[in-house]
Amino acid sequence: MNLGEYSVKNKVNSWLLVLLMTIGGVLAYFEMGKLEDPAFTIKEAKIITSYPGASPQEVYDEVTYHIEDAVRLLGQVKRIKRSVTREGLSDITIEFKDEYTSAEMPGIYDELRRKIADNKHKLPPGAGEPQIVDDFADVYGGFLALNGKGYTYRELKDVADNLKKQLVLVPGVRKVSIDGDQKEVVYVQMSRSKMAELGIDMATIENLLSSQNLVSDSGRFRVGPEYIRIEPTGSFKHVSEIEDLLISSNDKKLIRLGDVAQVTREYVDEPTKLIYFNGKPSLTIGISMLSGKNVVEVGGLIADKIDSLQNQIPLGMNLDIIYDQPTEVDQSVAGFVTNTVEALIIVVVVLLAFMGLRVGLIIGAVLLITVAGTLALMHLYGIELQRISLGALIIALGMLVDNAIVVAEGMMIRIKRGVPALKAAGEVVGANGWALLGGTAVGILAFAAIGMSQSNTGEFTRSLFYVILISLSLSWVTAVSTTPLLCALLLKKEEKKEGEEEKDPYAGAGFVIYKGVLTFALKQRLLTIGVIVAMFLASVWGFGFVKNAFFPNANTPMFFVDVWEVEGTDIRQTRDDTLKVAEFIREQEGVEWTASFIGGGASRFSLVYTPQDSTKAYGQIIVRTETRELIAGLQQKIDKYMTENIDSIEPKIKSLRIGPGRDSKIEARFAGPDPEVLRDLSAQAEAIMHADPEAKEVRNDWRQPVKLIKPIFNEQVARQLGVTRTELTASLRAASEGSQVGIYRDGVRLLPIYFRADASERQDVSQLMDAQVYSPVLQRTVPIAQVVLGFETVWEDAMIRGRDRLTTIIASANPTGELAAPLFERLKPQIESIELPPGYTMDWGGEYEDSAEAQGALFSAIPVSFIMMIIVVVLLFGKVRQPLIIWITVPLAIIGITAGLLLLNGAFDFMALLGALSLIGLLIKNAIVLLEEIDMQAEEKPLYDAIIDSSISRMRPVMLAACTTILGMIPLLGDVFFVNMSITVMFGLGFATILTLVFIPVMYAILFKAKNPQ
C-alpha cells in the first residue's frame, strides 16, 4: 500500500493532517517574526586605540603595528580589512572567516579581547586602552530626532535620557542609544600678560583645581553604637565656586581666581559631531529591537509608549521620525503578501482554465494547504517573513502544483474511465511517486548551493533555500496524499450513453497541434537539433551584451548626500556647507525632510547601511522623498547645485541599497611600502577614471595632505631652563584649544575643566611665540620663544591606511548610470596596464570584489549540489542514456535567459543567478517525469509510438507547470529586487518547456535509435 491508497483508505488521518497544516499555517502567519530584509551577521570587529599627541606615523609604528601583529595570531581572522591611523588614533577593522555563525561570534570576540589584553604591554606609555567594538548587530530600526527651537543641548539631553529610561522597558526593545549630544566643558581663560605679571603657571592652577574637586574617602568614626562616614564640604557645587578659589601670586599674595581669569561653562568650541533635522539642532534616539521578535508588534508597543510620554516632552520640543522600521516592514510585508495572493489567484485561475472546475479546485486547495504547512514549518524553524522568504514563496508557487497536477490528471483520466478511486490512487502514486520525489529532490538541490554558501550574500539569501526546501518537500507529501483524497471525494466516473465510444482525453486542438509539431521534429531530427544548437550558440554570444550587476537599490524613497570637504577642514565649516546643501534640498518639490549628520554618519538604522567613521571634513544628508520615482531627478539637481555653488566640497550621492555592498562600486587598490609611490599610482588610476565620461565621484581614500605647524624645539636652551617637551606641549595646548586641568562634577555629568589663553590671544599662529612655559630652574614662566627657534608649516598625510598589514591606497569611482559593469570593463584593462614598481601590487575591490566573493562562495557549493542532482537522476533511471539526455538539455536554458534579459533590458545580477539555478531544477524535474513515462510506455508498445504518446500525455502537466510558474511570477516584475530573477525564470522556463516537449523526445529518439514509421 502506497501513500495514495493509504490517504484514500484512512480518511480521518488524512483530514487530520490537512487540518493541522491549515490551522498551523494561519496561526503561524500572525505569530511569526516580520522583517524588511533578512538578518545577516556582520563578521567584523573594530579595535580603536587612542595615543594623544602622536603623529599618524608614530601611531602606526607604536600602536597599529603591534595590534595588527596580535590580531593575525587569531585563526578565525579572515583578513585585516582596513586600518586607519590618524593623529592620535588607531582604528583597525577585522573581518572574520565566513564559516562562523552568529552564535559563534561572541566567543570569537572574547578571544580577540584576550589576545589584545595579552599584548597590551607592547603599547607605548600614553596610549589608551584598546577598545573593541563588536556591536554591529545593533540596528536602530526606530530612529528618531529630538529637537526644539530655543532649547539647549543640555535640555534636549535631559528629555532624551528620560525617554530612554522609559523606552528600554518596552517588551522587545534591546537597546536605546542617544547620539549628537554636545560635550559641555568649563573653560578657565587668562591672558598671558596677567599670568606673567602674577607669576602664575598652568601647573599651579591644575594642582589647585584637581585637588579641590577630588573625590576621596575621608574615613569613618565610631559614635556610640554607630559607625558614621565622614564627608567634608568644599567640592564644587556651581561653576561660580571655581571663581572663588584663591591662588598665590609671585609676591605670595592670595588672589581670587575669578578676578584674574574668566570662568565659563559652555559647549566645546569644536564639536566632534553635529546633527540637524530640517535645519534644527537635534539629538537622535535609536531604538534597537531583540532579534526574532515581530518588528511590527514591537513597533506598535514603542509607538504606544511614545504617545503616553508626550506629556513629558516640553512644549515646542518635537520628536520626528527619521526611520521607522516597523512601518517599513509592515508596508513591505503587506506588499509581498499582496504579491503572493495575486500569484496564488493567477495560479488557481490557470488551473481552472486548463484543468476544469473540479480538478482546478482540487489542485488549488492542495496549493493552499501546502502554503499553510510551509508557513507553519517556517515559524517552527525560526524563519521570519521578509523580502527573501516571501519572494521564495512566490517563486515556489508554480513549482508547488507540479506534483499535484501529475497526480490529479492521472486520477482524473482513470476515474473517468471507471477505475475505482482507491485503485486509481494506488496506480497513479505507484507509477509516478518515485519520479515525482526524484524531481522534487532535484528541484530542491538546484537551490542547495544558496544554503551552503558561507558569504554574507549567501547568508542574506539563505532563507530562499530553506523556504524552497520546506515548500517543495511538502508539495510532494500533499501531492501523493491530499490530492488523491480530494480526487476520490470530488471526481466521478463519466457517464456515457449506451453505444457511445469512450472519449479520447487527448483529442483537443492543443494536443493535435503539438502532435503534428512533434511528429515533424522526429522526422527531421538533425534539422531540429541543428536549429537548437544554432540558437544556443547565438544566445552564448548574445549573453555578452547582457548587463551585469550585484544588488539593486531599495524601494524605500530615501537617499544620501555625502559632503566631503578638503581634509583638515574645521567641522564648523563642514556644518555650514552641509546645512546650505540641505536647505537647497528641502526647497525641492517632493522632499519630505532632511536629516544632516556632520562629523560622521548616522547610527546604523538599517543592516545594509554602513555609517561613515568620524571625520570632521565629512557631512551626510539623509533625504526622504514622497515617492521613489522622484529620487533620480533630485539627485541630478543636487549634484549640479553642489558642483556649481560650493567649490570646496566633493559630493557623493548614493541610494539606499538592498543586500550587502559598499559605497564605491569601482575600487582599484594599490599596496606597497612607500606612501609617495602609492599616491602616484593612485593618481594615475584616478586620471584614467576622470577621462571616462561615465565615471563620477573619482577620489582616493587617503584624501588630501594636511598642514602641520611644527615648533622647532631648542633642546640646549630648554635643558638649561629645565623645560621638557611634555611641558612645552602642554603650554602650546593651553595657548591654542586648551589643556585639561581638572574635572567638574555635576550629578551624572563629568565636565572637563580646560585652561587656555584669552580669545584675543588665540586668533593668530604668530601669537604662539608669546605663550608662557614654566621654567623649574628660574621658578617662573618664560616666553615659549626662549625654547623654540620658530615655527614651520609642513604637509603630512592625515592618515595612513592599510589592509592586511600592507600600506594601501584605494582609487575609487562610481558610474553616472545605475550599473557599474560597463564602466568597469572599460577601466579595467587601462588601470591594469599601469606599471607597478617591484614590491607593489594592485587588485580590485568595490562591487567587483563583492560579486566575485559572493559568486565564489556560491560556485564553491554548486559542484556538490550538481553531483547530488546527477546521483538522484541516475538512481531514478538506473541507466546512463536518460540522465545524459537531461544534462545535455540543461545548458540550453541560456537561450531563454539571454532573450529575456536583452528584450526587457534586465541585468544578470546575483538574484538572476539564483533564478538560473532554480531554472535548472525545474527543467530537470519536468524532464524526469517525461522520460519516466516514455520508459514505461516503451515496455508495452513500439518505441516511436511510446515517445509520441508519452509526450502527448505529459504535455498538459508540463505546460501547466510552466504556465503557473511563469504567470505566478508576474507580481515580482514590479519589485526591483526580484525583477531580474523573474525575467530569468519566466523566459528561461518558457523556452525550457519547448526543450522538454520537443528537444528531449528528439534526443531520446536519436540515442535509442527509434525508427520513424514508414
The number of beta carbons lying within 10 Å of the beta carbon of residue 273 is 17
pLDDT at 317: 93
pLDDT at 216: 66
* CA 801/CA 93 separation, integer angstroms: 11
Provide the sign of the torsion angle of the four alpha carbons 311, 313, 317, 319, taken in this order. Answer: negative
CA distances, 273 to each of 128, 269, 603, 619 (Å): 21, 12, 12, 9
Residue among 801, 814, 808 at smallest CA distance from 689:
814
Residue among 712, 711, 755 at smallest CA distance from 733:
755
191-260+706-796: CATH topology is 3.30.2090
pLDDT averaged per 10 residues in sequence order, the chain, 1014 residues? 84 91 92 78 88 90 92 89 91 89 87 91 91 80 91 92 93 92 89 79 76 69 78 71 81 83 88 94 92 83 92 91 86 76 80 80 88 93 85 77 84 84 86 84 84 76 89 92 89 62 64 86 89 92 82 80 92 94 94 95 85 90 92 90 88 79 84 93 94 90 88 85 83 82 80 85 76 79 84 87 92 84 90 93 88 75 84 85 88 90 86 81 81 85 87 83 81 80 88 85 88 70
Contact 366, 478 (CB under 8 A): yes
* CA 323/CA 522 separation, integer angstroms: 62
* Cα 902 → chain centroid: 29
Q: Which three cell numbers stand for residue 661?
A: 555592498
Contact 214, 781 (CB under 8 A): no
**Domain-by-domain residue ranges, the chain?**
3-31+356-493+505-550+852-1007, 43-136, 191-260+706-796
Residues recorded for the chain: 1014
pLDDT at 234: 59
- Architecture (CATH level 2) of domain 3-31+356-493+505-550+852-1007: Up-down Bundle (1.20)
Question: What is the maximal distance between C-alpha atoms in the chain?
Answer: 137
pLDDT at 859: 75
CATH number of 43-136: 3.30.70.1430
Tell me whether domains 3-31+356-493+505-550+852-1007 and 191-260+706-796 share a fold: no
Q: Dump the DSSP string for 864-882.
A: HHHHHHHHHHHHHHSSSHH
CA distances, 608 to each of 105, 171, 336, 700, 822 (Å): 19, 25, 20, 23, 25
Global pTM reads 0.81
pLDDT at 233: 61
* CA 945/CA 881 separation, integer angstroms: 19
Three-state SS at 1? coil
pLDDT at 507: 65
Q: What is the amino acid identity at position 661?
A: G
pLDDT at 498: 55
CA distances, 83 to each of 65, 217, 665, 946 (Å): 10, 43, 20, 69
Contact 280, 146 (CB under 8 A): no
* CA 1009/CA 1011 separation, integer angstroms: 6
pLDDT at 832: 93
